[in-house]
């Protein structure tokens, strides 16, 4: 059976590809390598260096391989870039998603599994923590707006054409292969800087709260969604909040870093607090996080240590 993974050279997508191949599926990866890396690619996957926005190419790929499942992870994944370049963000995150949805209908895809965001969709005025899916989304960044739009398009395609889908709204994902040189991904950034003995910057007062979920747990949610959770939206987080100051301390201990953090002005558009309630995923997907933050950070540091050797 063929499965299409968009963004399969990226951080989370490449781990999804590895697991699918381990389970014996034929995997086709479409990735334009805008943030993904060739080194992340599984050798047993068939790779197209193409943009999901290219309708003609997507037509060719779908008609040739007839994927039964689509895991859609390709995205302009930076909140900060989306704020600076909303049109560029929408081209990939809305138009690119629509191209895939049209082809999925045309070629009878069994199920479309979409990587959305729990961190950037609920907005600033949330009253309930951990936040459940019943909270009405109020995204405050173009990235969040695009993800929410795609969720609504999925609902439309399901109603109009009978498409089966699952939306996974991730909390802050961390783990091996996360890019430490981008603007996002605080765990990778801190780890790399600490291991190199460089300055670590904390934006604002460091009391910004996030829900950090390990990449292997996120991969498991994706695979469970193949069989369960049809036409539903799920938060994929841990229900536990950690401040940036706490994260700094934990990583400092694991890496043996000996400097204090350097505090910088707060980052524009940063949500103050985000923690996701995963009760629904537990009930309907049979999913819960298995890797604790302490354990996940150790695994991540180990990985970055090896890449620096």
Ligand X SMILES: NC(=O)c1ccc[n+]([C@@H]2O[C@H](COP(=O)([O-])OP(=O)(O)OC[C@H]3O[C@@H](n4cnc5c(N)ncnc54)[C@H](O)[C@@H]3O)[C@@H](O)[C@H]2O)c1
* 118's tokens: 């729990």
Rounded to whole angstroms, how far apart are CA atoms 256 and 276? Answer: 30
Burial (CB count <10 Å: 0-12, 13-18, 19+), residue 126: middle
DSSP three-state, residue 110: coil
Applying CB under 6 A, among 79, 146, 154, 291 the residue interacting with ligand UPG is 79
Q: Is 163 in the site for ligand X (CB under 6 A)?
A: no
Site residues (CB under 6 A) for ligand X, limited to 119-138: 119
DSSP three-state, residue 131: strand
- 135 close to 128: Cβ distance less than 8 angstroms: yes
Applying CB under 6 A, among 32, 238, 274, 300 the residue interacting with ligand UPG is 274
CA distances from 57 to 52, 53, 99, 150 (A): 8, 9, 10, 21
Give the active site residues: 143
Rounded to 5 degrees, what are φ and ψ at 292?
-70, 160
- 76 close to 93: Cβ distance less than 8 angstroms: yes
- Residue numbers in the known binding site for NAD(+) are 11-12, 31, 34-36, 51-53, 73, 75, 92, 143, 147, 173
Q: Which is nearer to ligand X, 92 or 166 (CB)?
A: 92
- Residue numbers in the known binding site are 11-12, 31, 34-36, 51-53, 73, 75, 77, 92, 117, 143, 147, 172-173, 185-186, 201, 203, 210, 267, 270
Q: Is 184 in the site for ligand UPG (CB under 6 A)?
A: yes
* 223's tokens: 């695979």
Q: Is 167 in the site for ligand UPG (CB under 6 A)?
A: no
Burial (CB count <10 Å: 0-12, 13-18, 19+), residue 253: exposed
Residue 103 contact partner, candidates ligand UPG, ligand X, none, CB within 5 to 8 A by sort of partner: none
User: How many CA atoms, within 13 angstroms, populate the side-chain half-sphere of residue 10?
Assistant: 25
Q: Which one of 10-18, 45-53, 84-92, 112-120 is the stretch in contact with ligand UPG (CB under 6 A)?
A: 112-120
Q: Is 153 in the site for ligand UPG (CB under 6 A)?
A: no
Strand ranges inside 12-141, DSSP E: 26-30, 46-48, 69-72, 111-117
- 250 close to 191: Cβ distance less than 8 angstroms: no
Applying CB under 6 A, among 176, 185, 239, 241 the residue interacting with ligand UPG is 185
As beta bridge partners, residue 172 has 212
Q: Is 53 in the site for ligand X (CB under 6 A)?
A: yes
Q: Which one of 29-37, 56-64, 158-166, 266-274 is the stretch in contact with ligand X (CB under 6 A)?
A: 29-37
Q: Is 194 in the site for ligand X (CB under 6 A)?
A: no
Q: Which one of 4-12, 132-140, 224-232, 271-279 is the stretch in contact with ligand X (CB under 6 A)?
A: 4-12
* x/- letters, 56..95, toward ligand X (CB under 6 A): -----------------xxxxx--------------x---
Judged by the rule CB under 6 A, the positions of this chain that interact with ligand X are 6-7, 9-13, 30-36, 51-53, 73-77, 92, 96, 115, 117, 119, 170, 172-173
């Amino acid at each position: 059976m063929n499965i299409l993974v968009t963004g399969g050279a990226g951080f989370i997508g490449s781990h999804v590809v590895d697991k699918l191949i381990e389970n014996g599926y034929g995997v086709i990866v479409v990735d334009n390598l805008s943030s993904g890396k060739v080194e992340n690619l599984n050798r047993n996957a068939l790779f197209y260096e193409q943009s999901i926005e290219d309708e003609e190419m997507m037509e060719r790929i779908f008609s040739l391989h007839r994927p039964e499942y689509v895991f859609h992870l390709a995205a302009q994944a930076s909140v900060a870039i989306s704020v600076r370049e909303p049109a560029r963000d929408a081209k990939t995150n809305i138009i690119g998603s629509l191209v895939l949805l049209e082809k999925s209908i045309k070629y009878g895809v069994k199920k479309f599994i979409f990587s959305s965001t729990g961190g950037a969709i609920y907005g600033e005025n949330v009253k309930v923590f951990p936040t459940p899916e019943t909270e009405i989304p109020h995204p405050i960044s173009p990235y969040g707006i695009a993800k929410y739009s795609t969720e609504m398009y999925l609902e439309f395609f399901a109603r109009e054409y009978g498409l089966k889908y699952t939306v996974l709204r991730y909390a802050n994902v961390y783990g091996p292969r996360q890019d430490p040189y981008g603007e996002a991904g605080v765990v990778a950034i801190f780890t790399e800087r600490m291991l190199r003995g460089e300055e670590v910057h904390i934006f604002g007062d460091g009391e910004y709260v996030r829900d950090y979920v390990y990449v292997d747990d996120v991969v498991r949610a994706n695979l469970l969604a193949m069989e369960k959770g049809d036409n539903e939206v799920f938060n994929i987080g841990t229900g536990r909040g950690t401040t940036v100051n706490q994260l700094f301390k934990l990583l400092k201990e694991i890496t043996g870093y000996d400097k204090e953090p350097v505090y910088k002005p707060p980052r524009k558009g940063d949500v103050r607090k985000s923690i996701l309630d995963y009760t629904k995923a537990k009930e309907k997907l049979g999913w819960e996080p298995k890797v604790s933050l302490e354990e996940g950070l150790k695994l991540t540091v180990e990985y970055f240590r090896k890449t620096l050797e």
